[in-house]
Structures are given as C-alpha cells and as structure tokens.
Structure 1
Amino acid sequence: MKWLTNLFTSNKEEKEPADPMKKFLIAGLGNIGAEYIHTRHNIGFKVLDRLVQQEGLEWQTAKLGAVAEYKLKGRTLILLKPNTFMNLSGKAIKYWLDKENIPKENLLVVTDDLNIPFGTIRIKAKGSDGGHNGLKSIQQLLSTSDYPRFRFGISDEFKKGQQISYVLGEWDEEEKAKLPERLDKSVEAIKEFTLSGLANTMSTFNGK
C-alpha cells in the first residue's frame, strides 16, 4: 500500500496552489500603435519584446494588454504590455496583479527616464512618479509608490520646449547601434530580479 500513499501525496502536492512569492508581473510601459513602436517612450515595450523573442515566446491578446507567460527556474513571470496607452497604465497593472494574486513587491515596471544617460539602468524599490504619466497612473491605482521600477535612461539631449517631441521621437542612429546590447543587459536584469531579489539586482545592474 506504500505506492498508494505516495500516489496520494503526489496528487495532493500537484493540486496545491502556486506560491504567490514565485510569481511575478513584469510590466513594460509604452503606447500602442505603429507610430510609437520605435520611440524612446516605448522602451518598456521594447525590453519585453526582446525577452519574448529570446525565449521563443508569443504575445497573446488579453484583457487590457498583450500578455506572455515565461517560466524560469520555478518562477512564473507574467509579461505585460498594457494597451491602455501610457497615461492609463495603472489600470492594466492593477488588474493583472489582482487577477494573478501577485504581491506588489513582485511587480517590476520597466519605463523610460529622461534624467539618466542613454542606456543606463537604474532599478529602485520605490520612488516618486517624477512627472512620468505612466508611473503617475500606477501610483494612483495602487495607492502607493512602493513598488519596484526599472528605469532605462533615454537622456535629456533635447532643446528647451522640445521634451515631448524628443520623448515621442525615434532613436537616433548612434542610439540604434547601441540599443541591442542595452536590451540584452535589461533582459539579464529582469531575470536576476526574479531569481536573486531586488537588492542583489540593484547591486549588480544599477549604473551599468
């Protein structure tokens, strides 16, 4: 009867709910539409597209965004590109956090940042929205600014009064040449976040 006991135990273990601490929501911010694909403001989408491409995954159209699921060494990563446009990013992120029962500390928001040199990575546990409409929406919907965010530097090489056209403009030729390596480094940082935690990821990748 020992084999029956083992079988029963095995079935019981398989039916247990997944550990929420091993599930993550990685949300890349951007705007939908062909005119935005190659803009600086869409770097969040571009980073996640790189991860999906590398791992042979596929985006699925789902509620409030495009979603892909990635399994990594016992972790489940829900990758999300909101289709709400940047200013309403929080709506999609809150929906998927609630739907998948993911704690806020396992959320990582990938976004552009004007205050950081091009391609530089800066990951933080919390912070203000810094005038970024996507982060502002997330803070409003989650009622907190305490959630991890991955800021990808796009620099501030624009003339006075040209911020909007710069952010919504496409990468220049020099940036395009450097972007693939920066995207690969960003994917490495996302994986490190899920496997080693926020502190280790910040130590390894910030400023790189």
Structure 2
Amino acid sequence: MKKFLIVGLGNLGEKYADTRHNIGFKILDYLADSNDVSFVTLKLGDISTLKIKGRSLVLLKPNTYMNLSGKAIKYWLEKEKIPLENLLVITDDLNLPFGALRLKIKGSDGGHNGLKDTQDKLQTTKYNRFRFGISDEFSKGRQVDYVLGEWSDEENSKLKERLNVSAEVIKSFALAGVNNTMNQFNGK
C-alpha cells in the first residue's frame, strides 16, 4: 500500500484553535471528521490514518509548535518509511488571497517559520507544500496579530467550502499525483 505523510501546520492549544495560522490543523481536522477517523497523540504529534483506494494517508498535526515542525515531520517520514515525494505540508500563506489554494513541488520558505524549520531538518527545499491563502489584510506592523487572529465573519462564512476543496486537494495528491493536482486546483 502506497503511503503518504500529510502534515498540517499549526500551534497547540485552545487560544490558537481558530486562528489563521492554524489552517493546517483545521484542514486535517475537517478531512478526518468527514472520513470518520480520529487523531491520537503519539510522539511529536497527533496522528490519524486515512485509507483511500489503496493509499494510506498518515495525517500529522505536529505538537512541536509551528516554528519547530520539521522535527516531527522528519521523525514521522522516517518512522513510517515514507519517501520525500509523498510528503505534503499544509500551511497558511499571507501572499495569497483568502481561500486561494496553491500546491508547489519545491520553493522557498516564504518567510514562514514552520517551512523554514522543515527545510532545515529535511535539508532540502524540494518537498510538496500546499499553501492556503489567508490574505494580507493587516496594517503595517500588525502581521503577527493578524496571523494569530481569528477568522472574520466573512471568512468564516466561506471557510467550510474552502475546507472541502482543500480535502479534495489532499485526496487528489494521493490518488492522481502532484502534477495533476496542481493543474486541477492551483488558483481555485
């Protein structure tokens, strides 16, 4: 059975649960809930496994906090013997409009500390990342407050549909491959 590691980045704790920065956790929670699987707390994170059409998706929400996510990612890749090309890291992106989706095969960390640590621990920039746009609707000097702030009412009203599309991106990544998924979903 082909295995994939799907990692949602976020921070632990109730105070972060509904923040923009935790969209990675939120997407994985949505995917798990809609497929009737649940998470258990194991070494370096909360883990769930979802089986789809001969594929095994190991869902990981690192409990190392955002800025140290690479440690958990590296550990679970090695423990589950998952090749790097079957890794997908889900994160928020300030450079994309709210709800815009972008899958990439490689790239810079874009100033995102979770990706920076992942790149450092994996010693490569060539790993799949799935960026969920949170927009940049904040005033100068307020980036941290914005990222760690909760969704607006307008964003919340559109979030469920975006979470549903995000779950489809993950399934497509495992079933159709990264290139087909990029062609189908990027910019949608």
| Mapped pair 1:124 → 2:93 | no
Cα deviations by residue, 1:115-136 (Å, 9 ceiling, x for unpaired): 0000000000000001100000
Percent identity between the two aligned chains:
65
What is the 5 A alignment of 1:32-111? 32-111=12-91
Q: 2:126 corresponds to which residue?
A: 146
SS in 1 for 2:137: coil
Bigger Cα Rg = 1
> Which of 1, 6, 10 is the aligned partner of 1:30?
10
Partner Cα distance (1:57, 1:173) in 2: 28
TM-score normalized with structure 2 length: 0.99
> Which of 165, 176, 181 is the aligned partner of 2:161?
181
TM-score normalized with structure 1 length: 0.90
Partner Cα distance (2:136, 2:38) in 1: 33
Cα deviations by residue, 1:23-67 (Å, 9 ceiling, x for unpaired): 000000000010000000000000000000000001011000000
TM-superposed deviation, 1:110: 0.4
Q: 2:175 corresponds to which residue?
A: 195
* Runs of 4+ residues deviating >6 angstroms: none
Instruction: Kindly tell me the number of residue pairs found equivalent between the two proteins.
Output: 188
Cα deviations by residue, 1:122-174 (Å, 9 ceiling, x for unpaired): 00000000110000000000000100000000000000000000000000000
TM-superposed deviation, 1:184: 0.2
**Amino acid in the other structure paired with 2:85:** E
Partner Cα distance (2:51, 2:33) in 1: 14
Partner Cα distance (1:73, 1:64) in 2: 28
- Which sections of structure 1, spanning at least 5 residues, go unmatched? 1-17
SS in 2 for 1:93: helix
**Amino acid in the other structure paired with 2:115:** L
| Mapped pair 1:206 → 2:186 | yes
